[in-house]
A and B are shown apart, each in its own frame.
Chain A
Amino acid sequence: MTTSVAPLLQFVGVSKTFEAVVAIAPLDLSVASGDTLVLIGPSGSGKTTVLRMALGLLWPDAGQVRFRGEVLSPDSVQRARRSMGYVVQEGGLFPHLTAGQNVSLMARHLRWPRTHIEQRQAELAALTRFPVDALGRYPFQLSGGQRQRVSLMRALMLDPDLLLFDEPLGSIDPLVRAELQQDLVRVFQQTAKAVVLVTHDLSEAAFFARDDGQVALMRQGRVLQQGRVEDLVRSPTDPFITKFVAAQPLLAFGHAYDPDRNSKGEPQS
Chain B
Amino acid sequence: MMKLSGWQSVFIVVAAVMAGELAEPAKARAADSGSSPIAAQLATGRAFRIASKAFTESVILGEVVALTVSAAGVAVERRAALGGTRLCWDALVAGRVDAYPDYTGTVLQELLHGQGDADVASLRAALQPYGVGLGGSFGFDNTYALGMRRARAAAAGIRTISDLRLHPELRFGFSDEFRSRRDGWPGLAARYGLSAVNVRGLDHDLAYRGLAEDHIDVTDLYATDAEIRRHDLSVVTDDLGFFPKYEAILLYRLDAEQRWPAAFAALRTLEGTIDIATMRTMNGRAKLDHVPERQVAADFVAQRGGRSSVDPAALRESWTGGLFGRTREHLMLVSLSLLAAILVALPLGILAARRPALGQLVLAAVGVLQTIPSLALLVFMIPLLGIGAPPAMTALFLYSLLPIVRNTHAGLVSIAPAVRDSAAALGLSPWAILWRVELPLALGTILAGIKSAAVINVGTATLGALVGAGGFGQPIFAGIRMDDFPLILQGAIPASLLALAVQGAFDLVERVLVPSPLRSGRRHGAARAD
Contact = CB atoms under 8 A, between A and B. Distances in A.
Interface in A14-44: none
A78 B526 CA distance: 24
Contact of A96 (B424, B425, B518): B518
A136 to B, nearest CB: 12
A260 to B, nearest CB: 29
Interface size bracket, B side: 20 to 34
Contacts of A151: 422
| Among A88, A154, A164: residue with most chain B CB under 10 A | A88
A7 B490 CA distance: 78
Interface in B396-417: 416
B440 interface: yes
Interface string B509-521: 0000011111000
A105 B436 contact: yes
Given A90-B530, A93-B422, A109 B517 contact: no
Contacts of B437: 94, 96
Nearest to A151: B422
Contacts of B517: 95-96, 138-141
B427 A92 contact: no
A52 B420 CA distance: 13
Nearest to A77: B427
Interface in B116-174: none
A82 B426 CA distance: 6
A95 B427 contact: no
Nearest to B526: A95
Contacts of B518: 95-96
Contact of A78 (B429, B516, B529): B429
Contacts of B422: 86, 88, 92-94, 151, 154
B528 A78 contact: no
B440 A88 contact: no
Given A139-B517, A140-B517, A140-B522, A92 B426 contact: no
A88 B427 contact: no
Given A94-B419, A138-B516, A138-B517, A81 B530 contact: no
Interface string B421-439: 1111111110010001100
Contacts of B522: 140
A52 B440 CA distance: 25
A57 B424 contact: yes
Interface in B313-345: none
Contacts of B528: 90
A106 B433 CA distance: 10
A95 B410 CA distance: 17
A84 B425 CA distance: 8
B441 interface: yes
Contact of B525 (A80, A84, A140, A158): A140
Contacts of A106: 426-428
A79 interface: yes
A86 B423 contact: no
Interface in A119-153: 138-141, 151
A82 B419 contact: no
A206 interface: no
Given A78-B429, A109-B432, A94 B418 contact: no
B421 A109 contact: no
Contacts of B432: 109
A96 B525 CA distance: 9
A93 B437 CA distance: 10
| Among A84, A94, A151: residue with most chain B CB under 10 A | A94
A91 B432 CA distance: 20
A156 B89 CA distance: 74
A81 B418 contact: no
Contacts of A97: 515
Given A92-B421, A106-B426, A154-B422, 6 more contacts: A90-B528, A96-B518, A96-B526, A105-B428, A151-B422, A158-B427
29 contacts: A52-B421, A57-B424, A57-B425, A78-B428, A79-B427, A80-B427, A82-B426, A86-B422, A86-B425, A86-B426, A88-B418, A88-B421, A88-B422, A90-B529, A90-B530, A91-B529, A92-B418, A93-B422, A93-B529, A95-B517, A96-B441, A96-B526, A105-B436, A106-B427, A109-B432, A138-B516, A138-B525, A139-B517, A141-B517
